[in-house]
Amino acid sequence: MKKKIVILGSTGSIGKNTLNILRNDQKNFEIFLLSANKNISLLLKQAKEFNVKNLIINNNKKFNFVKKKYKNLKINFYNSFLDIDKILNKKKIFYSMISINGIDGLLPTIRLIKFTKNIAIANKESLICGWGLISNQLKKFNTYFIPVDSEHFSIFSLINDNDTNRVEKVYITASGGPFLNKKKNFLKSVTKQQALNHPNWNMGNHITINSSSMMNKVFEAIEVKKIFNIKLKNVSILTHPKSYIHAIVKFKNGLVKILTHEPDMKIPIFNSIYFGKKKYFNSKKINFEILNNPTLNKINYNKFPLVKILNNIPEKESLYETVIVAINDYFVNKFLNDQIKYSEMLKLIYMYCNDKIFLKYKYIRVKNINDIYNLKKYIDLKLNELSV
């Protein structure tokens, strides 16, 4: 019997890479459910190729258009992640990939856990804002969680027995994005095209901007703290322009483990699908030239001031994590929509993340998913009011 697969966010880079891997193994897997927001033409193309009968289109306008135009297709169309329970209806999914952008990925993550044996999550915002809620569901339904970001999958692989008490220090690497070797003054005149020109990775616009500002590393450091229960003071970020080394773990017994692979997201995705199985990935030879000169350096805080936001993160999980995600989302969208300059974006994100109006959320715990979504809406409204 074929193992059932769910991919939420199948038209993004992670979703497409997941399907590229599964394309060569359709005899063993059945794609049961896909989802997209706007790229309907690609979603329908994917559904046709993989014979997928269930699609979620969580954009009302696009959903209504597709529902009317393609009513004769033998496909079940849904327009809300709230329909997950109805779609799966007690079915057991072997593997689910969550690659939806933003906090919107939290609800489907929570809803999918009870149906899936293995869940791979590439959604930073869900893990940052709702890890407590997610981990409770994972334990309740005995679902195996696999982080898919290259850094976190690397740490996951290096700490293979989950005994984080043995860990002394964790280092995650950052390519530095397009501005690593630029002078600070250069950032005053950055264009959108320049900020989106990542040297190593092909990603969506939002995450590419986060990479350029190093905000994605703020998120990833918090993910390390939460997923592996490691204190932030024991997590460091190193710039590594070649993106070949993804994580370094120093253990208390004196051993240091380093994980390297090509900057290709298919590698952690492949290993998450076939985790524990004897399946082989056709990879390149080891690049000894990079290993002989890896160029690992500490972060330049003057050039990448947003990394200092990590100093605000409380030891216990709080709603402040939602604050920084919401503030960052708000101003990154402003920049992508040509409403503010790049330098203004950096200044405003840092300023509001350190504003007493929002710092108070460091002391408020997350009780349920509505706490997160309601705070996100409030922050959007508040920033609209404050930054007019």
Global pTM? 0.93
DSSP string, 317-364: --THHHHHHHHHHHHHHHHHTTSS-HHHHHHHHHHHHT-HHHHGGGG-
Q: What are phi and psi of 281, to 5 degrees?
A: -105, 130
Compute the distance between CA of residue 99 and CA of residue 7 in angstroms, rounded to an integer: 8
Widest Cα–Cα separation across the chain: 64
Contact call for residues 355 and 309 (beta carbons, < 8 A)? no
pLDDT tens for each residue of the chain, 388 residues long: 899 999 999 999 999 999 999 998 999 999 999 999 989 999 999 999 999 999 999 989 999 988 888 888 889 999 999 999 999 988 899 999 999 988 989 999 999 999 999 999 999 999 999 999 999 999 999 999 999 999 999 999 999 766 788 899 999 999 887 888 787 777 788 888 888 887 776 677 888 899 889 999 999 999 999 999 999 999 999 999 989 999 999 999 999 999 999 989 999 999 999 988 888 888 899 999 999 998 999 998 888 999 999 999 999 999 999 999 999 999 999 999 999 999 999 999 999 999 999 999 999 999 999 999 999 999 999 999 886 5
Supply 87's token pair.
Answer: 């779609």
Compute the distance between CA of residue 283 and CA of residue 261 in angstroms, rounded to an integer: 9
If we measure between CA atoms, which residue out of 122, 147, 155 comes closest to residue 259? 155
Residue 239 has a CB neighbour count (10 Å cut-off) of 20
Whether the CA torsion 296, 18, 63, 114 is positive or negative: it is negative
Instruction: Using DSSP, state whether 56 is helix, strand or coil.
Output: strand
List the CATH code of the domain at 3-147.
3.40.50.720
Residue 268 has a CB neighbour count (10 Å cut-off) of 26
Residue 368 has a CB neighbour count (10 Å cut-off) of 11
Residue 344: CA atoms inside 13 Å, Cβ hemisphere, count?
13
Residues facing residue 260 across a β-bridge: 245
Compute the distance between CA of residue 61 and CA of residue 346 in angstroms, rounded to an integer: 33
Compute the distance between CA of residue 253 and CA of residue 201 in angstroms, rounded to an integer: 35
Q: In the chain, where does the domain assigned CATH 3.40.50.720 lie?
A: 3-147
If we measure between CA atoms, which residue out of 125, 225, 214, 122 comes closest to residue 174? 214
If we measure between CA atoms, which residue out of 144, 153, 91, 94 comes closest to residue 122? 153
